[in-house]
Amino acid sequence: MNIREVQLLERKLPPHKPGEVLARLREPQDRVHIEDVKIVETFDIPRRTPGGELVRLQLPAGMSTAEGIAWLEKDRRFEYVTSNDLRTPCEAAPTPPPIPPLPGKISNDYDPVRLYGLDKIAAPLAWEKTIGSSTGPVIAVIDTGMDLTHPDLVDNLWTNPGEIPGNGIDDDGNGVIDDVHGFNAQALTGDPTDDIGHGTHCAGTIGARGDNGQGVVGVNWQAQLMPIRTMVNGSGTAADNIRALAYAAKMGARITSNSYGGEYNQAERDAFANTNMLHICAAGNEHNDNDTSPYYPDRLPIGYPGNYEYDHIISVAATDARDRLASFSNYGPKNVDLAAPGVATMSTVPGGGYETKSGTSMACPHVAGVAGLIATLYPDASNEQIRTRLLANVDKVPGLKDRVATGGRLNALKALEKDDIAPDAPAGLTVKPDGAWLDVSWVNSGDDGQQGQAYRYHVQCGNYHSTGAAGESGKPQSVRIPASEGPVQVRLEDNVGNLGAAAEAAGHPSIKVLRPNWNSDGRWAQVDEPGRPGSWTDSPNGNYAINTNSSLTSDFVDVSSLQKPVLRFAARYRLEPGGDFVYVEVNKKGSDSWKKLEDYTSFRDWQDHTIDLGKFQGEVRFRFRLKSDGAKVEDGFWLDRPEIAGG
């Protein structure tokens, strides 16, 4: 074991639980062949992505986490190995606000002064449409637990229909004894009782019982709240969260509320990817730009799990009573989706009491609560439709522009709009080829047929898809997309997820596409990714190695005959942020030098990339080159459909 490698890795590991690691087996059957390291837990996560099981491994006595990772990463039985990182609540110091109340359906325990956040999101008006339901969607509160006897929560607790209370038997066979009202993911028991109040507070915002004359009211007057305790004294681990997600999925949760955070963790990311619930997550309280993910000294980026790039994850920033971004709140116009009230939020705490707390932890359950109202009123709504309702119907706030993706703050009333009319097909679709590009133009229809303004457009041509905010009805709009031989389709989507009929036009039959042979230096190989057969990767057998310098290089191609040529490809990557890079480089025939075109580091899911080649003439070749340092390694770079295109 390389001492220098271990020392570098030790510096870069986030806070974690010592003595154990998380790993993913390469194949399910590999579990039976592991004898030299102890598997102490196999996580019961559905496998929606290829590969083996997620497991927790106990390291030999005296071995540090860095030593264990450095040792096991060289073992081909494991796809990856990572530390069991710590997770903490996203709570900040409170500041009190003034309030302007709204009209609407009022609960006898609703106070617009103490519960200003409900006014800000127009909850009283939303309650005229639905107050939630005691038989509605199950909302899992993954947190510090819940006061199971709190008078404002007890009537909204989820009850496990397959469990008999107090008989000491696992009646439903789910692996937990007497989990009548939830799960303790640390102690592996059916007692999720809260120890510090954070989870109880979040649960109250989602679903403190309404109109019962007690203390406060939640976004849902009636609900099914499933408490899952993952933290003790404000501290948990990625493994605890994975266990919680598995339990929530198995027991029928529709929505999860996640008011905790920490650094990127690959095993936790896989667990979120493989669970089909809608996950609402706090953006974090470091006043950090989650898009740029600045690296703490020798640390990974923060803002997770909200930063995991999946459509069924929604990241929430916090605002105050004046709709200002909270001074502590993380933000990011790409990775943080919307804001919600999270300063001086009054809610339930253990012992039957009520307190004011602040944090993106308090903003997150406002959004989870509204997601619950949507799923109650529209029980057949998909994750994507609930997401669209939440994000397309915010109140635009000037101070949130370029701070969150929607530029706005949650609005419950708008999110519940009844709308069965899809946009009409766009009119006047034209497609103009320009080198390797297509300039696509159309005239927008509306939100309902021709009326109102649609939420966003979708443009599809071959493998390429573009989406963005739709313009006014009757007004022209245009977008530039990569050219393909196939037809171009444009359709509009409204603010509740109704997708209109498509307008269609011919693509670019004269587009020239060069697909050269690609040559590996022995480490890159082709694999079959889901939906992407024949993709290239630098690490087909798990994580790449330390101190790697490996390349995938094309044959020479002549770009002289192409108008406005580009190199285009799709890629996803998991690279140690700021330490390991993949460089895209070009070499002119007859020259020994390579010129950098682009570089990639950190973590991104599949995206299309285009690099302009207009400065180059004659014969050139390209390469994708991985260069890693001597510390932490990751899953690597995955490449699909690399090609050179032009008019």
The catalytic residue among 257, 315, 358, 361 is 361
pLDDT at 44 over 70: yes
- What are residue 405's DSSP bridge partners? none
The class that CATH gives domain 512-646 is: mainly beta
Please state which CATH class domain 116-415 belongs to. alpha beta
Q: Known catalytic residue: 143?
A: yes
- Of residues 437 and 175, which shows the higher confidence score? 175
All CATH 3.40.50.200 domain ranges in the chain, comma separated? 116-415
Whether residue 312 contacts residue 291, with contact meaning beta carbons closer than 8 Å, is answered with no
Q: Which two tokens stand for residue 215?
A: 């203390």
287-316: average pLDDT: 74
DSSP string computed for 169-211: S-TT-SS-TT-SS-EETTTTBS--B-SSSHHHHHHHHHHPPSS
The catalytically annotated residue of 16, 198, 201, 366 is 198
Biggest CA pair distance of the chain: 83
Please give the residue that has the higher pLDDT: either 127 or 540: 127
Range from 429-438, 446-455, 472-481, 583-592 carrying the lowest mean pLDDT: 429-438
Mean pLDDT to the nearest integer, 326-340: 95
Answer whether residue 347 shows pLDDT above 80. Answer: yes
Choosing from 85, 109, 143, 179, the catalytic residue is: 143
CATH 2.60.120.200 residue ranges for the chain: 512-646
Class of domain 3-89: alpha beta
Per-residue pLDDT of 353-393, as tens digits, reads 999 999 999 999 999 999 999 999 999 999 999 999 999 99
Q: What is the pLDDT of residue 204?
A: 98
Q: Classify domain 427-505 by CATH number.
A: 2.60.40.10
Residues of the chain with CATH 2.60.40.10: 427-505
**Those residues with Cβ within 8 angstroms of residue 592's Cβ, 6 or more apart along the chain or in another chain:** none
Q: Looking at residue 360, what is its pLDDT?
A: 96
Q: Is 198 an annotated catalytic residue?
A: yes
pLDDT over 80 at 418, yes or no: yes
Is residue 241 over pLDDT 80? yes
> What number of other Cβ atoms are within 10 A of residue 398's Cβ?
7
Catalytic residue status for 361: yes
